[in-house]
Homo-oligomer: A and B are copies of this chain.
Amino acid sequence: MLLAEISGNVNVIGYGIAALGPGIGVGLVFAAYIQATARQPESAGLTRVYMFMGFAVVEALALLGLVLAFALQGGS
């Protein structure tokens, strides 16, 4: 007797949502850096460290979701 034909793991949905925001956020950071560098090339060195910092803290949110998807397996 089969009660459900849907299979899968909702943790993948969880990671997917956790990757949604950072996917947009990291894009915003890099887009801002590209436009700022193109307009003021002399500011490239000044803002580069903040681009990497912003990229790191935003990307970390998605990677935490990846860790969580493995850490909280169902039925445990």
Binding site for B on A (CB under 8 A): 1-41, 43-44, 46-47, 50-51, 53-55, 57-59, 61-62, 64-66, 68-70, 72-76
Contacts and interface: CB of A to CB of B under 8 A. Distances in A.
Number of copies: 5
Contacts of A73: 7-9
Q: Which residue, A2, A9, A21, has most C-beta atoms of chain B within 10 A?
A: A9
A15 B57 CA distance: 16
7 contacts: A4-B6, A5-B6, A7-B9, A9-B73, A17-B17, A30-B54, A36-B38
A33 B50 contact: yes
A76 B70 CA distance: 12
A64 B23 CA distance: 12
